């Protein structure tokens, strides 16, 4: 992505714009963030594109704002891997019993902590984002509450971090991880080797593949799952609700993240239609992390 369009406005306006972008099919990658911690109501929406944006791209971004459209500025980006650049020097994070660090930092020496080394890469899920850290906390909570899955799937796995953390908690389970992006599959394999995570289809090992949602023969073959993890976005979470419910074992658990708190009711409603109810939730900043459970049928 060599160009971006940027708009600075209120947090509410940006959140509403992201809501309207559900099902977004433009050739633009959206990102939103707080501009200054001292001004929490001022947010920026960025739209990245490969070519110099024209009128069509500007109109697409402007259409995301219902009322007053903020100024939309364009900027050519230097030739750089912006995912890696943004994560250089990222400080280690602690979430539950997990400590996540980049190769520039050392593992934790604290007793009872599990460290994972996740380098800056072209994949989401280094632990820096609130949703990933929240998922790590929720996995720890699940373990403390007596959850013991035998089969786990991580859909939209990114770096593989959440599956690695789940394996640390439940080392005898089978792990199936997938992502729509082939680069993520490569990242999972690299990170598994880096963190001494065995790859394969046997219990205790991680099987990685490229797939859209649940659309893969191995994902179907290894169902039903006692635990499904998906840290993606609200729109695909809603779309995947029937597939997740169909692939879930009785009394199984679903861990959902990547949704804003303002989108939570929509996501929960989609899963409630398929018999899944909220069991616990964590809110980290503006983001919700949901643990849903299937009703027992038998």
- From first to last of the 298 residues of the chain, give the pLDDT tens digit: 488 899 999 988 988 888 787 666 667 877 777 777 678 788 988 888 888 999 999 999 999 998 889 999 999 887 655 445 544 556 788 898 999 988 888 899 899 999 999 886 544 555 456 788 899 999 999 999 999 999 999 999 989 999 999 999 999 999 999 998 888 888 899 999 999 999 999 999 999 999 999 999 999 999 999 999 999 888 899 999 999 999 999 999 999 999 888 899 999 999 999 999 999 999 988 889 999 999 754 4
CA angle 188/231/195 to nearest 5° reads 30
Q: What is the pLDDT of residue 165?
A: 97
Phi first, then psi, for residue 96 (nearest 5°) are 60, -130
Specify the pLDDT at position 3: 87
Q: Give pLDDT, residue 90.
A: 62
**Contact in structure between 177 and 207 (CB atoms under 8 Å):** yes
Tokens of 156: 């939209």
Q: Is 113 helix (H, G, I), strand (E, B) or coil?
A: coil
pLDDT, residue 20, reads 80
pLDDT at 184: 84
Q: Check residue 22 and give its pLDDT.
A: 64
Q: Report the sign of the C-alpha dihedral through residues 245, 247, 252, 254, in that order.
A: negative
Handedness of CA 148, 153, 154, 155 (dihedral sign): negative
Which residues, listed in sequence order, are joined to residue 32 by a DSSP beta bridge? 45
Per-residue model confidence (pLDDT) at position 143: 97
CA distances to 18, 215, 261 from 30, rounded to whole Å, are 8, 25, 18
What is residue 119's predicted lDDT score, i.e. its pLDDT?
A: 82
Please give the distance of CA 287 from its chain centroid, rounded to a whole number.
Answer: 11
Structure tokens at 75: 């900027």
Give residues with Cβ within 8 angstroms of 107, minimum separation 6.
99, 101, 115, 117
Enter the pTM of the model: 0.71
Query: Residue 2's pLDDT is what?
Result: 80
Report the run of H or E that residue 115 belongs to, with start and end: strand 114-117
Calculate Rg over the CA atoms of the chain. Answer: 19
Whose CA is closest to 226, among 255, 200, 197? 255
Note if the bond before 224 is cis, omega within 30 degrees.
yes
As a whole number of angstroms, the longest Cα–Cα distance in the chain is 59
Q: 121: how many CB neighbours lie within 10 A of its CB? A: 22
Residue 5 pairs with which residues in a beta bridge?
47, 74
* Residue of 63, 144, 128 whose CA lies nearest to 96: 144
CA distances from 134 to 52, 190, 262, 264 (A): 36, 24, 17, 15
């Amino acid at each position: 992505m060599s160009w971006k369009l940027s708009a600075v406005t209120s947090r509410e306006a940006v959140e509403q714009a992201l809501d309207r972008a559900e099902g977004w099919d433009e050739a633009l990658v959206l990102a939103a963030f707080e501009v200054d911690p001292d001004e929490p109501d001022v947010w920026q929406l960025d739209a990245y594109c490969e070519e110099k944006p024209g009128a069509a791209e500007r109109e697409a971004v402007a259409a995301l704002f219902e009322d007053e459209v903020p100024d939309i500025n364009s900027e050519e980006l230097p030739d750089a891997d912006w995912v890696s650049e943004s994560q250089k020097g990222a400080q280690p994070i602690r979430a539950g019993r997990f400590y996540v660090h980049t190769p520039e930092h050392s593992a934790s020496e604290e007793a009872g902590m599990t460290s994972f080394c996740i380098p800056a890469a072209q994949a989401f899920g280094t632990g820096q984002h609130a949703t990933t850290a929240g998922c790590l906390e929720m996995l720890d909570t699940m373990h403390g509450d007596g959850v013991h899955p035998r089969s786990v799937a991580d859909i939209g796995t990114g770096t593989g971090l959440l599956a690695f953390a789940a394996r640390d908690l439940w080392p005898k389970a089978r792990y199936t991880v997938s992502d729509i992006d082939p680069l993520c599959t490569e990242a999972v394999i690299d990170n598994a080797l880096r963190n001494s995570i065995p790859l394969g289809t046997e219990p205790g090992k991680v099987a990685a593949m490229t797939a859209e949602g649940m659309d893969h023969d191995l994902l179907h073959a290894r169902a039903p799952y006692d635990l499904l993890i998906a840290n993606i976005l609200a729109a695909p979470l809603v779309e995947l609700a029937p597939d997740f419910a169909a692939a879930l074992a009785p009394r199984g658990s679903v861990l959902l993240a990547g949704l804003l708190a303002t989108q939570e009711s929509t996501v929960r409603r989609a899963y409630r239609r398929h018999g899944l109810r909220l069991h616990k939730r964590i809110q980290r900043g503006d983001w919700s992390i949901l643990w849903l459970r299937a009703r027992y049928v038998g």
